[in-house]
Structure 1
Amino acid sequence: LFRQFIFSIFPYPKRLRWVALKLWAYQKTGLQWLVRATGLLELLPARLRAMESMAPSIRLSDAFSSMPEVVPAVTPKRRRVAMLLGCVQRVFFSNVNRATARVLAAEGCEVVIPQGQGCCGALMFHTGLENEAIAMARQFIDAFETELSTVDTLVINAAGCGSTLKEYGYLLRNDPDYATRAKALADKCRDISEVLADLEPQATRHPLPLRIAYHDACHLQHAQQISAEPRKLLASIPELEVCEIQESELCCGSAGIYNLLEPESARELGTRKAQHIATTGANVLVSSNPGCLLQMKASLEQEGRTVQTMHLVELLDASIQNTSLDNSATN
């Protein structure tokens, strides 16, 4: 039943917004404080406790926001790219999507955002529900097909989604109607770090005198073999000190929905990762996947650590826009 609940909510942004509204009320009325302070939370099943601990702070203006169909390039146009909005990303991390569009535009990319895009099927694909993933993939391909031939790249800012989209050619290899179309889409998929690392910077990077720790998301480092590109982008920010985390190859415990289905073992992994982060002395943790950010924020809080969590592109955006992190952070 719990798995069915997850798969009936998470891949659907409209349903996630309904959840966001309930979460907002839970947080803003003081009910969350009461449940935690009185110990009522401990009476809930482990899976529900895990879900509650990882719930992000809700701002309704973000949860119900939208993106324009086209974001024009700010500097001389070099590329035309399409952009993935994601499911969890567009509802709970819409600021990451806005930062992604701003950074791409600042680097000379015209950004096209198909409004009919839905879930890419990543949650289903990662948990072995191949038929459901294929159905989602077909709908996703249909939503992007009109724009696909007009763009250079499909830009992705969620590592879990990216690892799935790049496998579309394999996933739909036996579908006579979609096999060729799926491969064409997969061939244009790139993580935001790949796209930006491949472009000579046009936008000025302003100093960010911070000590940050960078976490490699498994779906980026292992599934897509991307690790040098994010570090290249971080190195472009003046006065930024980047700390490597011990056992960087180790999962943080998020792993799609693993932290919700197997909360105890996921918590062990999260605690181990949080302790390694603490040894760096960093006051900001940066990663490229929403699930990792939620998992590590919860793990750090459970360890009593005050560490700000941010998506890589938010940090770049803050440097380019010359704004404070208070206006850019995911949490």
Structure 2
Amino acid sequence: MVLEGPFVDPGLVSDCVHCGFCLPTCPTYVLWGEEMDSPRGRIQLMRQRLEGEPLTPSAAGHFDACLGCMACVTACPSGVRYDTLIEQTRVAVEREHPRPLPERALRGLVFGLFPHPRRLALVKRPLGLYQRLGSPLLSRLPGRLAALAALAPPVRRSVPLPALVPALGPRRAVVGMLTGCVQREFFPSVNAATARVLAAEGCDVVIPPSQGCCGALSVHSGRHAEAADFARGIVDTFASAGIDALVVNAAGCGSSLKSLGELLADDPAYAPRAAALAARVTDFSELLADLGPAAPRHPLPLTVAYHDACHLAHAQGVRSQPRTLLRGIPGLDLREIPDAEICCGSAGVYNILNPAPAADLAALKARNVLSTGADWLVTANPGCLMQITAGLRTTGATIRTAHTAQVLDASIRGVRLNPDPA
């Protein structure tokens, strides 16, 4: 929701007592040790803006450098709503801060492509050709485009899911399933595994083929009007679909959808339906934990390190459920990652807009993952999968990566875990 009057809520700014508990959990403070690149430092910049100081390019740069990972929200003993503050601030930055032409062009490319699955589908063929030609082309691309190309997972053919995947055995729930944008086009096997697991656990899975972007990338980047337009499309698609829950298998999308009511609160035509739908949004692991297992699990002799996606753990508070699901698989050895609260550097499109610090965070996360001795890295967000895979690739490590849904799918079906079927 866009504020009428001050660019952020003054009451939320005053909640910060500058205790510093947020500092060791903030990725940019960990990297640089600069006060203005910590949550309390950015809140001080917000306070100065409220007191009448202009939004300078320097201040805008400190706000842009924030990953929006929300680790500080978890760490804060005073309950400061930094998530709301940085979201409100980014709306003001987009409105007031004139960006250089190259920056505007890059952001235009990113937001003209990533929230549009059909456009993403069109770039898969040239991207696949680029991947087959290999690294010689990489050195010829501009820095940020090279970073983007290096992050892309191997191109796989997307097979559309049916509009309804019926429950196997007695029906326990009717759920809608968000297919996403990047998830749909670059991780189709994750969506297929999600649908199979939900059906195996007794859910009728409703998958409207017309669904579009949920608006998460836009809302996390201060593009409020654009995010609201995408959100209205999701409400139109799912609000009257006769579902008990809307299941999401991408952490950033789930975080945004749970705030649908706030995003559309000022739209009288959508506000009631948006709030009602938001109350039914649930992460894949949340729903399965609530239902309890119905399908038998077959052994998977794997050693797994589980990575908490920031918008699942910090923004949604979902930590125990995926671990419970993984520990319920016979033969699976689950290991914790040191400094787990530090973001991997993906943060929506942060790793494209800020590739250098994102790469540093990916390298830090890769070292911590490898220290567990696990054979697999498992997480619940496509951005994290791409980012950590890229970080691990630079180390030459052979550890493989998968989504939580893919691990459960392999166990339920009694097959070898293969997250990248040809």
Q: Structure 2 length as normaliser, TM-score?
A: 0.74
Match for residue 314 of structure 1? Answer: 406
Q: How many pairs were matched up? A: 318
Offset of residue 46 of structure 1: 2.2
1:71-220 correspondence to structure 2 within 5 Å: 71-147=165-241, 150-220=242-312
Question: Which of residues 283, 301, 304 in structure 1 aligns to 2:375?
Answer: 283
Tell me by how many angstroms 1:10 deviates.
0.6
Kindly state the Cα deviation for residue 139 of structure 1 after the two structures are TM-superposed: 1.5
How far apart, in 2, do the equivalents of 1:145 and 1:310 lie? Answer: 31
Counterpart of 1:15 in structure 2 is 119
Deviations 1:281-306 (A, max 9, x none): 11110000000000000000011111
The residue correspondences of 1:291-306 to structure 2 (distance < 5 A) are: 291-306=383-398
Write the letter of the residue equivalent to 2:224: E
Sequence identity of aligned pairs in percent?
52
Q: Distance in 1 between matches of 2:230 and 2:162?
A: 23
Letter of the 1:119 counterpart: C
Cα deviation for residue 202 of structure 1 reads 1.1
Identify the residue that residue 134 of structure 2 maps to in structure 1: 32
Question: Which residue is equivalent to 1:38?
Answer: none
Counterpart contact for 2:303–2:375, Cα < 8 Å: yes
C-alpha contact (below 8 Å) 2:115/2:213 kept by paired residues: yes
SS in 2 for 1:198: helix
- 1: CA distance between counterparts of 2:272 and 2:398? 48
Letter of the structure 1 residue corresponding to residue 336 of structure 2: E
> What is the CA distance between 1:143 and its match in structure 2?
1.6
Quick one: which of 93, 101, 107 aligns to 1:3?
107
Return the alpha-carbon distance in structure 1 between the equivalents of residues 395 and 147 of structure 2. 15
User: Which deviations, in whole Å up to 9, do the C-alpha atoms of 1:98-143 show, x marking residues without a partner?
Assistant: 1001000000011011121100001100111111101111112112
CA distance in 2, matches of 1:262, 1:200: 41
Preserved CA contact (<8 Å) 2:239 2:274: no
**Whole-angstrom CA distance in 1 between matches of 2:139 and 2:345:** 21
* 8 Å contact from structure 1 (residues 80, 111) kept in 2: yes
1:57 and 2:157 aligned: no
Could you state the TM-score of these two structures normalised by the residue count of structure 1? 0.94
Partner of 1:261: 353
What code does the residue aligned with 1:51 have? L
Q: Deviations over 1:267-319 (max 9, x none)?
A: 11110000000111111100000000000000000111111110000000000
Check conservation: 2:336, 2:372, Cα contact below 8 A. yes
Consecutive unaligned residues in structure 2, runs of 5 or more: 1-104
2:79 maps to: none
> Could you tell me whether the CA contact under 8 Å between 1:12 and 1:119 is conserved in 2?
yes
**4+ aligned runs moved over 3 Å, structure 1:** 328-331
Counterpart residue type for residue 169 of structure 1: G
State the alpha-carbon separation in 1 of the partners of residues 164 and 146 from structure 2: 40
- Please list every run of 5 or more consecutive structure 1 residues that lacks an aligned counterpart in the other structure: 36-40
Q: CA deviation at 1:329?
A: 4.1
